[in-house]
Structure formats: C-alpha cells, structure tokens
Structure 1
Amino acid sequence: MKKLLLVSALICTPAAMAHNDNDSGISFSNEQCNVEFKNDVRIKPSELEIFTASNQFMRFNNNGNLTVNGEEVSINSEQRQALTQYSDTLRTQLPEVANIALDGVKIAGVALEEVANAFNIDGLNDLSGLMDGIKVEVENTFYQQGTFVMGQQSFDQFGENFEQQFEQQIETVVESAVMQSMGSILVALGSELMGSGGDMDAFEQRMENMGEQIEEKVELHANKLEQRAHALCDNFADIAQQEQQLVAQLPQLKGYELFTIKQN
C-alpha cells in the first residue's frame, strides 16, 4: 500500500509551497533576483517617494516637481520627462510583486481543492479562511492606506510573518481536516480498489495516475507563476540600469536608487 503515501504527500502540498528552499522555486524575497533593494519606495496616486535607510527622501509628484529632503530641485524638461518615465515604470512594474504573491496563494488553494475533490475531504472551510487571511497579509504588507510600499523591509516582514504565522496553521488545519474526513478518504480508496478489481498493482497505478493528474494541474499554474517571477527579476535589472541613466542626468538623485545590481 505504498501508494497510500501519495495521499499524505498531496495533502501536504500547500505547506510545502509555503516554505520552499529550492533555488528555482517561487520566493517572497529578492534572493532569486540579480538585483537587491537599496531603498524603500512609496507610490501614492499623486506622487512617488523613495526613502533611504537614514530616512532621507526624494519626492516626485504628478505636476513634475522634484524635492530632495524637502528642498525643491530645479529640473529642465528633459530631466522631468526622464523622471516621469521612471515613475511610470515603477507604478507599472512594482505592484506585480504583490500580484505574484497573491497568485501563489491561489495555487495552494488549487492544490487543496483537487485533493479534497479526489478524496471527498470535508472540513477544509477553516483552511479556506486561513488562505483568506494570507491574502489579507499580502495586501496589508504592500498596500498601506492607499500607498504601495515596497523594499527589503517589506519582503523581510512578509516572509517572516508568512512562515511564523501561517505555515504551522496550514499544517494543523489540513491534518484536522484529514482526521475529520478519514471515513470519506477510506471509502474513496475502497472505491478505487474495487474499481481495480482488487488488483493491488492496478490500484497503485490508478492512484499514481490520479496523483499525476493533480500534480500536473498544480505545476501548470506554478510554472507560469515562476516564469512571471523570473520576468519580473529581469525588469528589476532594467529598472536598475534606468536609474543609473537617471542619476547621470540628475546627480542630486545619487544615493536614492531603488535597486542595485548584485556583484558576482
């Protein structure tokens, strides 16, 4: 009955996704990118702000005005155009970080739904509520009072909260749901065994096929998400280069770059 282990492996899928040590996996940190965050950014509807670790800041608003540490900086039309393009790029690209995190939560939900449907597992309502809580945590990390906030602190905060606050809860709720539905699971397994005519080899093959089907559905979503994450890392590298060009035009912005390219 070694294929019965497949049930446990599949049911534990969300917990495994929550903590991924695989270098090729989806990560909620910037460790997978060739860039790292140097400062924090706050994107408001009417302005862009970048803060350094020493709490110095630059602000560029929709009217094309630039201030550095509260002092207005006179800029020409070419510099204003470059700043506007930079601001638009950040507004377009950075929220994709939150979108990828939210879609990662959805993938865990897909895995749970597939397993629950396959083995008639009840009692997953608590886990559904927990997933909603994770979604709220993601949104609260990146969206604060109408402002999009991102930087190393945001990533560290989310990663720490996710692992400490939710990972153990996910495992606990899943284990509870499995225990509550053990009868349904055994009936489902019995039905599969009968469908195989009592042939254990055929039964194991049916179980393996079922597991592969579920895995394929989950991996399809996960692979697409991973591609988006890699593409986003490439976009961050492009932004880092854009910042270098911007500083060449506006030396006053040196030290306010959001990204820095990692040195190998």
Structure 2
Amino acid sequence: MQTVLISAALLTNSAFAGECHVDFDAHVKIANEQVVVALQDNKQLTLSANEAWLDGKKLSLSKEQQTLMDEYYSRVFNIAPQAADIALDAVDLATKGVSMAFSTLLGEDDQVVQDITGEFSVLRTAVQSQFYAEDGSVRFDSKSMQDGDFIDKEFSQRFEKKVESLVEKSMGSIMITIGKQMMFGGDMDAFEKKMDNFGKDIERQMEAQSDQLEARADQLCYSLQILDDYETQISSSIPELAKLDALRVSYRSDGQK
C-alpha cells in the first residue's frame, strides 16, 4: 500500500517535493506549434516561432521585445514535454513498484498483478494524451489541470478506486498462498520473512529513481519560475501585453509554505 500511496503522490503537484505551487490564472493552450494565452483583459495572445498576434492582429515589436517573446514562446513550448516526461516516468515508477510488490508475493502470472499493471497502463495513456497529440506533436491545455494535477480529478478518483479494489482482491490471493504454504508443508518462516521484508526491499530499490524524479521536478519548478518572470518582463515592456499574467509559481526549498 505504501507504494500505491507514493505513486499517487508522484502523479500530482506533490511530485515537486510538496514545495512547488503552480497556478494558472488564465487559459494557456499549446497546439499545432502555437501557444495561445488568454490575457486578463479577455484578449488572446497567439505565439509561434518569431511571430506574435493579439486578437488576430500581428504585433509590431522592437528587436528587444521580439527577443522576449521568442524566449517566452520557446520556454512555454519546451516546458510541456518536460512536465509530460516527469509525469510519465512517475507512472512507470509506480507501475514497477506495485508490480514488484505483488509479484513477489503472488507471482508474475497472477491475475491481480496483471490487472493492476493494466490499470497503470490506462493511466499512462491518459497522462500521455494530456501532453501529446496522436501524431506525436506537443499539446497542452491548462483547463485540463486542477489544483496543479496532471490528470483531472474525476479520472484520478476512478483510478484510485479501481486500484484499491484490486489491492483488496489481492488479499484473497495472499491468503490462498498462505494456506498453500501451511497445507503443503511450505517454509512458513521464509514466507513470513518475505512478507515482512518485501516492502523495504522495493522501497530501497526504487529510492534512487524517486530521488531523480524529485530532482527533475524541482528543475521543472525552477523553469516555471523563470517563465513567470518572463511574463512580468513582457507585461512591463510591451504595452499591448500589460495584462499578460497567466502563471503564478511559488517555491520553498526549506519545505515551508
């Protein structure tokens, strides 16, 4: 169960070590190589490589202003796959942990193990569709995020209930395994030791990967902070974009909010 809880945490904003808080104050969308941002005055900013439009009208920018816009576009466009890769790797890590846990007790071919792996596969597909179109191009829509979560809460709740159901089902399989050990003269001491230690063994094996994920998530938070700073610079430098304020990011390295 500890592995299940860890996996659930990794798939939400707590992947940022519980210290990075990202809020979208306006709609941000990435699709077809364009970045679309809603401004606070209900106007729409559309960006592509080296060009910017405000409500469909191309902006006339100085060299310095264009440099700011290009950097903003590039950072928005690159942060989406960075976030996607972290989320997908978190799912893979969770899948590995849960599979290892129950395979140790029940065997790799047990139906419960296969069912749990299948549910994580469904989750991985859902997360991937948040950030990548069918043709592999980057896409993102801030409306799909709630409270910093990579996946919508309704799906998350359904997934959590399904996994809980499968875990409960696995208890029956574990009891059957124990019964077989008792009835057919198995080494109960060895089996009991296996049950006592499998959680610690898995945690030890996965700890390094979890630390790497956390470090990458912290780097992503730093990238988001820089993007937030660029919004401030743009709104100060370009009068037409004075209402650009789509993103708010805060980070505490000491763990205090």
TM-score interval w.r.t. the shorter chain?
0.7 to 0.9
Q: State the distance in 2 between where 1:192 and 1:57 align.
A: 69
Q: Equivalent residue for 1:127?
A: 116
Q: Equivalent residue for 1:230?
A: 218
TM-score (norm 2): 0.78
Please tell me whether residue 139 in structure 1 is matched to residue 128 in structure 2. yes
What code does the residue aligned with 1:234 have? Y
SS in 1 for 2:61: coil
Please tell me whether residue 256 in structure 1 is matched to residue 244 in structure 2. yes
Q: Equivalent residue for 2:91?
A: 105
Q: Deviations over 1:133-159 (max 9, x none)?
A: 1112112233456551142x3221724
Q: Equivalent residue for 2:38?
A: 51
What code does the residue aligned with 2:139 have? F
Provide structure 2 residue ranges, at least 5 long, that are not aligned to the other structure: 252-256
What code does the residue aligned with 1:48 have? V
The offset of 1:187, in angstroms, is 5.2
Q: State the distance in 1 between where 2:209 and 2:6 align.
A: 12
Alpha-carbon distance change, 216 to 192 in structure 1, aligned in 2, over 3 angstroms:
farther
Q: Which runs of 4+ in 1 moved over 6 A?
A: none
Q: Deviations over 1:113-145 (max 9, x none)?
A: 221332134112222221111112112233456
Alpha-carbon distance change, 155 to 28 in structure 1, aligned in 2, over 3 angstroms:
farther
SS in 1 for 2:145: helix
The offset of 1:74, in angstroms, is 1.0
Provide structure 1 residue ranges, at least 5 long, that are not aligned to the other structure: 1-11, 197-202
Please tell me whether residue 242 in structure 1 is matched to residue 230 in structure 2. yes
Q: Tell me the number of residue pairs that the alignment of Structure 1 and Structure 2 aligns.
A: 240
Q: State the distance in 1 between where 2:67 and 2:187 align.
A: 65
Q: Equivalent residue for 1:154?
A: 144
What code does the residue aligned with 1:106 have? D
Please tell me whether residue 167 in structure 1 is matched to residue 154 in structure 2. no
Q: Equivalent residue for 1:9?
A: none
Percent of matched pairs sharing the same residue? 22
What code does the residue aligned with 1:244 have? T
Q: State the distance in 2 between where 1:126 and 1:243 align.
A: 45
Alpha-carbon distance change, 239 to 188 in structure 1, aligned in 2, over 3 angstroms:
farther
Alpha-carbon distance change, 143 to 26 in structure 1, aligned in 2, over 3 angstroms:
closer
Of 87, 96, 102, 1:116 maps to 102
Please tell me whether residue 60 in structure 1 is matched to residue 47 in structure 2. yes
Q: State the distance in 2 between where 1:84 and 1:176 align.
A: 53
